A and B are shown apart, each in its own frame.
Chain A
Amino acid sequence: MSATQQLTFLARYSLTLSFVVFLGAAVLLPWVGAGPISLTRVLQHQAPDYEIFIQLRVSRTLLALIAGGALSLAGTLFQAMLRDALATPYTLGVSAGASLGAVAVIAAGWETFLGVPITWIGALAGALGVLVLVLGGAFRRRQISAFSLLLTGIAINSICAAFILILGGFASLSRSFSIARWLIGSIDATSYFSLIVLTTVVLIASVTILTQARSWNLLAVGERWAASRGVRVGRLLVNGYVLGSILAAGAIALTGPIGFVELIVPHLVRSRISPDHRILMPCAFFLGGALLALCDAIGRVVMPPAELPAGAVLALIGGPYLVWVIRQRTPAEEI
């Protein structure tokens, strides 16, 4: 088998496997929950099984799949841009901006605007504000580098975190609880209109990112390396930051700032399948979505009728697993 055939085989095999896992999660996980649901009753559109299944279980599973995929892909992208396996949308301030926007509207007591939950609008506005601030701050002499992006992102991240603390401190007790609850991150049932909007945005951003996968490979090695192999580094960095922010902000607006999925999934795919972004990125999307949907399903069944937030389940499962993975690394891998 030639090297080209080997690469094509690896890509097809890993992509198919990841997609099957994603599809499996979409088909099976809606059936997991505090109470049993009858397939026959669902097929016959009988209440309450049909409503619970379609309006609650399916919609939140789809939300988890799309949001998890978007966050995981955004993490993969930022890790390539910053050449750091620990980089996430949090590192560059996007998540903190979205959180600040959402926390601000919760603290103000606003709930909906034209029927749309105001936290969505707040999160998107916050992320957009941070996007403009970080890009504006990172440009020097009309040039941008990953280093200036990183430093500006970290600075804005800290400022946003400080404002979140201040708003949380000044809010009333009930709003303060709402803020804390939102900041954990969770998957809730959502309207299909919201899902269609999120899916469309995530799909466009993801495909655009994926078409530049070869360039992300080069950028992940170094800016000088990429530039001398024909990549327009400044333009690629701005593209990556904008697209990654859209993915992260879109997901966070609907779920809250769920962490870990953007860290653990790219790490696992990179070490177990391939660091090549042509394979890594689509696999990270599918497996990230499946992992978040699985964590949400686990959160539904461990303490019925109460539900654990998906963000908490993910951290409880992902944290120890990541430590285990790190302990398995050989000394050569740690250089």
Chain B
Amino acid sequence: MSDLIEVESVSFSYGSRSVLDSVSFRAGKGEFVAVLGINGSGKSTLLDIVSGFRKAETGSIAIEGRSQSEWSRREIAQRVSHLPQAVHADLPFTAEQLVGMGRYPHTDRWFESDEDHKRIRAAMERTSCWAQRRRAFRSLSGGERQRVLLAACIAQDAAALLLDEPSTFLDIEQQLHCFSLLRQEAQDGKLCIAATHDLNLALTYCTRLMVLADGVIAHDMQVAEAHENKEWLGRFSKRLDMGSTPAGSPWVWYR
């Protein structure tokens, strides 16, 4: 498995509050990594830094073996797509127009080509939002919006997808659909890194868990190892425990 993203000794702080303190990890194609941690643990900041939106104070990021600073913004966007935690889009873009923006890094054409439109449609159908394509994004429900944004990330056709709480606002069926879709993307050779608070979704669909705590990656393990050592659960709450589903999968529950 080749490393697509290499994060080396990255630190970041907001004023005097240190959020990331010499964080290092590598991730490659085929992995579906869940970034876990309590509120304010630096999950979103880490994704912002890897996507190039924020600059790390120290440390380095490499994408496909080349320093992030050596890639142009557009070249990064061709390789890494980022789903932010919230997109407001107050101006009345339609869902299809928003997904179409995912094609921006791939074309210099004034309007998208037929090939672009095929990809836009395929992405929207995969995230079950094609029926809403003509509706204004701002008029959609939270869950519908999230599916449109996910479709935009998929339409971007990048090798790495960074997703900040992708299942937010989704109903249970759509949460399962979203995570199973991301797993499929990983199986098709992409790298998916998703920040999430849903431990069971992470345990069910992801291949690897990274737990951020006190500015560092406190735990970094394959999902198969997660139920062998329950210490990582204590990072979230003392009331958590882990058992197994009838199918034998690990399952987190609270006392």
Contacts and interface: CB of A to CB of B under 8 A. Distances in A.
Contacts of B82: 224, 228
Main secondary structure of the interface of A (DSSP, over half): helix
A176 interface: no
B13 to A, nearest CB: 12
A181 interface: no
Nearest to A2: B114
Interface residues of B, number: 43
Interface stretch (A38-46, A58-66, A76-84, A248-256): A76-84
B68 interface: no
Contact of B88 (A218, A222, A228, A271): A222
A92 B102 CA distance: 30
Interface in A221-236: 221-222, 224-225, 227-232
A230 B90 contact: no
Interface residues of A, number: 33
B80 A11 contact: no
B156 A224 contact: no
A11 to B, nearest CB: 7
Given A230-B104, A271-B92, A4 B113 contact: yes
Interface stretch (B28-36, B45-53, B173-181): B45-53
Interface of A: 2-4, 7-8, 11, 79-80, 83-85, 214, 217-218, 220-222, 224-225, 227-232, 270-271, 275-276, 278, 332-333, 335
B97 A276 contact: yes
Closest 3 CB pairs of A and B: A230-B77, A228-B82, A230-B74
Given A276-B97, A333-B139, A230 B91 contact: no
B93 interface: yes
6 contacts: A3-B117, A221-B91, A221-B98, A221-B101, A224-B53, A227-B52
A275 B93 contact: yes
Interface string B85-103: 0011111111011100110
Nearest to B89: A221
Contact of B93 (A8, A217, A333): A217
A23 B77 CA distance: 41
Nearest to A235: B73
A227 B111 contact: no
Contacts of A79: 91
B97 A217 contact: yes
B112 interface: yes
B111 A7 contact: yes
A4 B117 contact: yes
Contacts of B74: 230
A280 to B, nearest CB: 9
A95 B113 CA distance: 40
B139 A335 contact: yes
Given A7-B111, A227-B53, A270 B91 contact: yes
Contact of B112 (A4, A218, A231): A4
A229 B102 contact: yes
Contacts of A227: 51-53, 73
B117 A275 contact: no
Contacts of B197: none
A85 B90 contact: yes
B101 A217 contact: yes
B81 interface: yes
Given A84-B90, A228-B81, A270-B91, A214 B104 contact: yes
Given A4-B114, A278-B111, A229 B91 contact: no
A333 B91 contact: no
Contacts of B111: 4, 7-8, 11, 278
B23 interface: no
Interface string B46-79: 0010011100000000000000000011111110
A9 to B, nearest CB: 11
Contact of A229 (B72, B77, B110, B114): B77
Nearest to B72: A230
Contacts of B77: 228-230
B84 A229 contact: no
B170 interface: no
A227 B121 CA distance: 23
In the complex, which of the residues B91, B94, B101 has the most CB atoms of chain A within 10 Å of its own CB atom? B91
B227 interface: no
Nearest to A220: B91
